[in-house]
Amino acid sequence: MNISKEQLDDLNAVVTVDIAKADYSDKVDSILKDYRKNANIPGFRKGHVPMGLVKKQYGKAVLVDEVNKLLQDALNKYLTEEKLDVLGNPLPKEQENFNWDADDYSFEFELGLAPKFEVKLNGKKAITHYKIVATDEMIDNQIKTIQKQYGKLISKDSAEKDDLINGTFVNEEKEIENQTTISLDKIKGKRNLDKFIGSKVGDVLTLKTKGLFTDDHDLMNALKVSHDEAHDLDIEVTFTISEINHQELADLDQDLFDKLYGKDTVKSVTELKEKIKQDADRQFVQQSDQQLLNDVTESVLENTKFDLPAEFLQKWIQATGEQPLTEDEAKDEYEKSEKGLRFQLIEGKIINDNNLQVTFDELKEFAKDLIKGQMAQFGQMSPEDKELEDIAARILSNQDEVKRISEQLMSQKLLAYYKENVKLKEKEVSFDDFVKEVYK
């Protein structure tokens, strides 16, 4: 057997595998002898079928199978030994007049090769690393939400500002009929609010949907319509009141603090605010870090330039798709996936060049930390190490879980690397300002 490579350019090559009769004949003969021993052919005793008949009936199939096995083993071994970094898989070239009746065979495979490049982490501008902080207003709103959640509902005869009104919205033309509870503090404008103030159970209010709520998403929930329908919806609806309640806020006392955080963990409103701020800041760190990963990804993609074997990859997509694709369809698929492939190559190079690979011991410790965090949410603050080891072992026996946790750990490693090596500028913002800047 002989294998050779023709380098067409930096990104494309053709590998030729020559297989001679001596490479496969012994194996084929051995398999056919086993077939002869076990063949059941009418007119012949088992084990006494003429070899010529066995070869005629099974020889070609056995030959093709064994040559293909040899071919794949040889090709994979060659790619590994030569350390060829290929994209996709080798594609067999079509060969005219190929003859399986010959003794010797020659197979050609097209290769798409990964490009050589240097990663450029930094562009002209520094990347913004947001530090999201919980404002006093946000903390106060959260406290009010908690007080509502743990407060009491007091039934009323007539509605006043900030009451909760239960009723049914109806519009026959749009087939809207939805029972819901609305808070009057979400009604927009004095004219709309005045229709509710003083209303009683059984009253039927006629309302315009446009500008009814301060947020169109509240209209979407109130009418049970789609997101797109809710925006700019301008119809008349009736609202039949079935219940009016005033929400009495829970007192900010030790009983409430203990319900929220456990006995004597928080002992004052000041400590409550600090606890809420700590929890919010912790969540904001995750959002900030995810945005940093996104921004670094875009920056590195923009600044790291290299070519890909596009023509080969389009042919590979066309040949390996679950369903047959035309050339144009394969080109479209390639264009959709090109950005992801580019970053996959960039990320792989960053990981390899900086030894950021995930080891099993790191994975196990990371899994144990995740488990401890989950157990803490249910009040188990100090689990024994053996219990953690057993749970981690069960989780890591599931390949899907291993993949998921490995990706989480790798994201943390990359994030730490970026924070050390990418030119960043920190910007302190409120959560609302963060949303405006990032999702503008």
Residue 310 in tokens: 């596009």
Report the predicted TM-score, pTM, of the whole model to 2 decimal places: 0.73
416 and 363, same structural domain?
A: yes
**Number of residues that make up the chain:** 440
Burial class (CB in 10 A: 0-12, 13-18, 19+), 222: buried
- Are residues 81 and 19 part of one domain? yes
Distance (Å, rounded) from C-alpha 49 to C-alpha 36?
A: 6
List the CATH number of the domain containing 156.
3.10.50.30
For residue 26, the model assigns a pLDDT of: 92
Together in a domain, 331 and 410:
yes
Shared domain check, 339 and 382: yes
Please tell me whether residues 404 and 294 are part of one structural domain.
yes
Element (H, E) at 213: none
Distance CA 352, CA 142 (A): 45
Phi, psi of 267, deg, nearest 5: -125, 0
Q: Which of 87, 113, 139 is the last residue of a domain?
A: 113
The pLDDT tens digits for 126-147 are: 999 999 999 999 999 999 999 9
Domain match, 297 and 376 both: yes
Confidence (pLDDT) at 47: 73
| In-domain check, residue 143 | no
More confident residue, 32 or 440: 32
8 Å CB contact between 153 and 246: yes
Lowest mean pLDDT among 134-148, 316-330, 375-389, 417-431: 375-389
Confidence of residue 5 (pLDDT cuts 50, 70, 90): very high
Give the Cβ contact number of residue 200 at 10 Å.
11
Q: Are 353 and 117 in contact (CB under 8 A)?
A: no
> Which alpha helices (DSSP H) does 40-122 contain, by range?
51-81
- Tell me: do 219 and 340 sit in the same domain: no
Q: What share of residues in the chain are helix, strand, coil (percent, to 5)?
A: 50, 20, 30
Predicted confidence (pLDDT) at residue 229 exceeds the cutoff of 70: yes
Using CA atoms of 267, 270, 275, 280 in order, give the dihedral in degrees to the nearest 10.
Answer: 160
Taking residues 19-32, report their average pLDDT.
92
158: left (phi over 0), alpha (psi -120 to 50) or beta: beta
- Per-residue pLDDT reduced to its tens digit, 78-101: 999 999 999 999 999 988 888 898
Tens-place pLDDT, residues 299-308: 999 999 999 9
pLDDT at 36: 82
Domain match, 287 and 370 both: yes
Rounded Cα gap, residues 103 and 20, in angstroms: 7
pLDDT at 321 over 80: no
Residue type, 34: D
Domain that holds residue 88: 2-113
Q: Does residue 144 form part of some domain?
A: no
Q: Is 225 helix (H, G, I), strand (E, B) or coil?
A: coil
Question: How many structural domains does the chain have?
Answer: 3
Q: Is residue 127 part of a domain?
A: no
Within-domain flag for 198: yes
State the helix-helix crossing angle for 269-303 and 399-421, rounded to 10 degrees: 80
Annotate 309-341 with DSSP letters as a single string.
-HHHHHHHHHHHSSS---HHHHHHHHHHHHHHH
- Of 191, 214, 248, which residue is a domain's last? 248
Q: At 201, is the secondary structure helix, strand, or coil?
A: coil
Is the same domain home to 244 and 279? no
Higher pLDDT: 67 or 232? It is 67
Q: Are residues 276 and 341 in the same domain?
A: yes
CA distances from 220 to 205, 214, 230, 436 (A): 19, 12, 5, 22
Q: Are 6 and 16 in contact (CB under 8 A)?
A: yes
Say how far apart CA 280 and CA 132 lie, in whole Å.
9
Beta bridge partners of 239: 169, 205
Band of residue 324 on the pLDDT scale cut at 50, 70, 90: confident
Lowest mean pLDDT among 229-243, 281-295, 300-314, 373-387: 373-387
Among residues 248, 282, 310, the one where a domain terminates is 248
Both tokens assigned to 288 = 């900030």
pLDDT band at residue 42 under the 50/70/90 scheme? confident
Q: List, in order, residues 6 or more apart from 192 with CB less than 8 Å away.
A: 207, 211, 212
Q: For residue 136, tell me if it sits in a domain.
A: no
Measured between alpha carbons, how far apart are the two ends of the chain, in Å? 62
pLDDT for 107 beyond 70: yes
Predicted confidence band of residue 379 (pLDDT cuts 50, 70, 90): low
The tens digit of pLDDT for each residue in 234-283 reads 999 999 999 999 989 999 999 999 988 888 889 999 999 999 999 898 88
Residue type, 85: D
CATH number, domain at 15?
Answer: 3.30.70.1050
Whether residue 282 is found in the same domain as residue 343: yes
Q: What are phi and psi of 142, to 5 degrees?
A: -65, -40
Tokens 């913004």 -> residue:
128
At residue 222, the pLDDT reads 92
Nearest to 212 by CA among 240, 184, 176: 184
* Residues 319 and 425 placed together within one structural domain of the fold: yes
Residue % of the chain over a pLDDT of 70 = 100
Q: Is 31 inside a domain boundary?
A: yes
∠ CA 403-406-411, nearest 5°, is 125
Average pLDDT over residues 59-79: 93
